[in-house]
Amino acid sequence: MLAYTDQAKSSVELLKEFTAKSHEFEGLRLVFSGVGKRDVYNICAPFLDHGEPVIAGRVEDRDKESSEVVFFVERHGEWVPRNGAPVFSLQDPFFTFIGEELVFGGVEVYFDGDDPHYVTSWRTVFYRGHSVNDLEPFAKGPLTMKDIRLIGLENGRIGVFTRPMMVDGARALIGYTEIETLEELTEETILGAKLLRNQFLPDEWGGANEAHQLAGGAIGVLGHIAWMEDNNIRHYYPMVFAYNPDNDRYTPIKLIATRSMFPDGPAKRADLKDVIFSGGIVRHGDGTATLYTGVSDAEAHVIVIPDPFLEYES
C-alpha cells in the first residue's frame, strides 16, 4: 500500500536523509563526439528507433544558451550524431510512446531580438510520429512552462503532468490531468490540470521529467527538486515519487542521486556546479535501474542504482 503525504520537506532535509545512508554506486560520463567543441547534456534515456538505441541530447556551446537537440547512436563506445536524423532548435529533450506512436518534445526558447543571450520566454513543444525521421509538430504548452510530460495509461487514457510557475505563492508546482487522445493536448487542458500541492516549500520548486506505469496502477514519476541559495547558486537533485490517479494522492519525494556520486567535471557556470537534471530511467527487472542525467549543464552521465520504483509496487 502506498504511503501518501501532504507535508513538504525541504531539499536540505531530503539531502540529509539521503546522504545518511550508504550509497556505493558511481556514475559514468558518456562520451559524445561529432559535435565539435560543444557540450552534450540533459539527455533523455535511450529508446529504440527501428531497433536501434537512440539518445536525444541538448547540444550547446559552453558560453551560450542557444542549443540544438541531436539524436545520437553508439559507435565503438562513443555516441555520435545519427546519420539523416533531424536536428531541432530545442533544449532538454524527452520522449514517450503513446500506443505505437513516438511522442518527442523539448523546450523552445525565445531570445531578445537585440540581445541573443537574453531569454525572453520559453515553452514545451511536442512532436509525434512512428520514428525519429517522421516526427511532426502537434502541440505546444503555455508560455513559461517546462516539464510537461505524457504517459500512456493501462486504461487507454493519457496522463499529463504539468509544471506551472508562480502559483499560489509557490515558485512552481506539479499538476496532473488526463486526456483521451493526443489531439486533446491543448494549452487550455494543460492549464486546467489539478495541482499537487504541498510537494515543495514555497521558495523551492521541481518538475516531472519522466513517468512510468507501475504494477498496481500507480504512476512512478522521475523528476527533480531544486532550491537556490545566495548569489543564485542552484542545487538540483534527481527524485522520485508515486502518484495515484484514482485519488490524486502522492507519496513523499525521495532523492535518488547527488552530484558527489558522479565523476568530477566542468560546469557551464559556477552557479550550476551542483545541478543534476534527471533525463530518464531504465528499469532492468533485477532490482536495479540506470539513471541518465545531465550534470552541471555541461556533461551527460549514467549511473546504475537500486530501482527506486520497486517500493511502490510491493
Domain containing 26 — which CATH number?
Answer: 2.115.10.20
Say which amino acid occupies 55.
Answer: I
Computed from CA positions of residues 27, 102, 216, 9, in that sequence, does the dihedral angle turn out positive or negative?
A: positive
6 located within any domain: no
> Where does 118-232 show beta strands of DSSP type E?
119-129, 136-140, 149-152, 158-162, 165-167, 170-172, 174-179, 194-196, 205-213, 219-229
Using DSSP bridges, classify how beta strands 274-283 and 233-244 pair: parallel, antiparallel or unpaired.
Answer: parallel
The reported pLDDT for the residue numbered 234 is 96
The reported pLDDT for the residue numbered 231 is 86
Provide the grid cell at 206: 521541481
What count of Cα atoms within 13 Å lies in the side-chain half-sphere of residue 245? 25
252 located within any domain: yes
Residues 64-109 pLDDT 10s: 989 999 999 999 999 999 999 999 999 999 999 999 999 999 999 9
Q: What is the rounded average pLDDT of the residues 237-262?
A: 96
The reported pLDDT for the residue numbered 78 is 97
The reported pLDDT for the residue numbered 114 is 75
The reported pLDDT for the residue numbered 301 is 98
The Cα 63–Cα 246 span in angstroms is 46
User: Taking Cα atoms as reference points, which of 46, 41, 99, 32 lies closest to residue 68?
Assistant: 41
| Enclosing domain of residue 71 | 11-312
User: Taking Cα atoms as reference points, which of 211, 240, 210, 213 lies closest to residue 225?
Assistant: 240
Q: How far is CA 72 from the centre of its chain?
A: 18
The reported pLDDT for the residue numbered 23 is 85
**Helices and strands per DSSP (H, E), number in the chain:** 2, 24
The reported pLDDT for the residue numbered 24 is 86
Residues 115-149 pLDDT 10s: 777 889 999 999 999 999 999 999 999 999 999 99
284 located within any domain: yes
Residues 141-174 pLDDT 10s: 999 999 999 999 999 999 999 999 988 888 899 9
pLDDT reading at 226 higher than 80: yes
pLDDT reading at 1 higher than 90: no
Provide the grid cell at 85: 536524423
Please state the domain count of the chain.
Answer: 1
3 located within any domain: no
1 located within any domain: no
5 located within any domain: no
Q: What is the rounded average pLDDT of the residues 230-259?
A: 96
- Burial of 7-18, coded b for 16+ CB within 10 Å and e otherwise, reads ebbebeebbeeb
The Cα 309–Cα 166 span in angstroms is 29
The reported pLDDT for the residue numbered 169 is 81
Contact of 160 with 179, CB cutoff 8 Å: yes
Kindly state the percentage of the chain with pLDDT values over 90. 89
pLDDT range class, residue 22, cuts 50, 70, 90: confident
Of residues 111 and 38, the one with the higher pLDDT is 38
238 located within any domain: yes
131 located within any domain: yes
